[in-house]
Amino acid sequence: MSKTVIFVVDGFGIGAMPDAGALRPGDMRADTCGHTLDHHRTELGRPLRLPSFGALGLGLVHPHPDLADRTTLPVAVGRAALGYPGADTYAGHQTMMGADFTSVTVARLGEHLDEVAAALRAGGHRVDPLDTKPLLVVDGAVLVHDNLEADPGINWNASGRLEDLSFRRILSIARTVRAVAPVARVIAVGGHADAPLPRFVRPGDGGTVGLDTPATGFYRNGELEVQHLGAPLDHTRQLPELAARAGIPVTLVGKAADILACDAAVRRPAVPTADVLAHTLDAVRADGDGLVVANVQETDLAGHQQDTSQYGAVLEEVDAGLGELIALLDSPGDRLIVTGDHGNDPTIGHAYHTREYVPVLIHRPEASGLELLPDATGLADVGATAAHALGLDPAGLANGTALRPARHAA
């Protein structure tokens, strides 16, 4: 009996990828991990207490004075490029589970306005411009627009007031947009706004134009309805489905429970880190084999809030939980894989994700010592490595290659 746990620290990057500055040149200095460590030493007068991260080899892939530069645990350590465009939680997790995201692009709605309008008209909808802005007004009530809360070009929204029409109709419009959209997500949003939605349209970064959703009052007025429509993917060729078909119990925890597909999975959605850790530990303590995919979201939330102190506090809470997981995953064949899905540097000066490498820290109780992994070309290699640990054929995934040690450390 063995357990494999993929533990995703949301927004935990370890340094900018070479193309990180394509949208914002300042992002070339992004280093979520390093800047958070620096903040605590200089501003709070002490280093972060991360003994479990250190034991898992974080300091070997991100050298820093506050991280151990050696470990006695049997671990394999490396780092991964993202392997998908932009920096996005949904795309990151789908890629990590083995999805092929090569057909997904970063695109502004304005670049596809005619195509989207034609699809909506073919579906029987009335489509009008809003002045000269690159967005669409559908049936006089729903705005189709760039999402201003994620990196430019990652997601599009179809937003409507529930005073004007039902969420079912908003969702129907979003599905028509989804059918022709090249982006990772089309998000249907229905809520109660303080005024007609066109009043809240504004320009965003990178040439985008969209609805300032927080300003509408949607988030504070209650009864908000949201549905995320992801890019078409073959979920049967992702790790949770591959494991479930092999009779391996699957548990999805935290944000992973919201965004990953697997009908057979036990789902434990949660946002508080303490709850995510508790659900993960409970799943590991269960008898028999199992795959657990868990996501800690509060690091990402701290990054969006540009709250470096809170980011560090969550990391310390996560570290304590990792210590418990290491102690529980002590049988030959067990795996604890700690990684991230993108960066979210709380010192970068904006509230968007940052395009960074992420750590790949693998605890393997039966191994003899430390092994160094080659750089993974994408997060799909993490899923393929977990598949191999579970005795599954990684070729059953749509994308990814199991990581093999480049060399044993001296």
Q: What Cα–Cα distance (Å) separates residue 341 from each residue in 126, 225, 355, 366?
A: 39, 26, 10, 27
Number of Cβ within 10 Å of residue 383's Cβ equals 30
Q: How confident is the model at residue 351 (pLDDT cuts 50, 70, 90)?
A: confident
Q: What does the pLDDT read at residue 233?
A: 87
Question: Maximum Cα–Cα distance for the chain, whole Å?
Answer: 68
220 token code pair: 């504070």
Is the CB of residue 371 less than 8 Å from the CB of residue 362? no
Q: What is the pLDDT of residue 298?
A: 96
Q: What is the pTM of this model?
A: 0.88
pLDDT higher than threshold 70 for residue 407: no
C-beta separation of 116 from 177 below 8 A: yes
Kindly indicate the confidence band of residue 288, based on its pLDDT and cuts at 50, 70 and 90. Answer: confident
- Residue closest to 184 by CA, chosen among 258, 259, 248, 288: 259
Let me know: does 34 contact 41? Beta carbons within 8 Å. Answer: no
How far apart CA 13 and CA 288 sit, in angstroms, is 33
The dihedrals phi and psi of 290, each to the nearest 5 degrees, come to 180, 150
DSSP string, 300-359: HHHHHTT-HHHHHHHHHHHHHHHHHHHHH--STT-EEEEE-SSB--TTSSSSS-B-B-EE
From CA 353, how far away is CA 300, in angstroms rounded? 8
Res. 410: pLDDT tops 60: no
Residue ranges of domains in the chain, CATH in brackets: 3-104+233-408 (3.40.720.10), 109-230 (3.30.70)
pLDDT in tens, 185-242: 999 999 999 999 999 999 998 899 999 999 999 988 989 999 989 888 899 999 999 9
| Residue 1: band (very low, low, confident or very high) from pLDDT cuts 50, 70, 90 | low
pLDDT digit string (tens) for 261-273? 999 999 999 999 9
The CA distance from 343 to 353, in Å, is 6
Residue 311: left if φ>0, alpha if ψ -120 to 50, beta else—which one? alpha
Residue type, 374: P
Structure tokens at 301: 């939330």
3-state secondary structure of 14: coil
DSSP string, 46-110: S----HHHHHTTHHHHS--TTS-S---S-EEEEEE---SSS--HHHHHHHHTT---TT-----GG
Q: What is the mean pLDDT of the chain?
A: 94
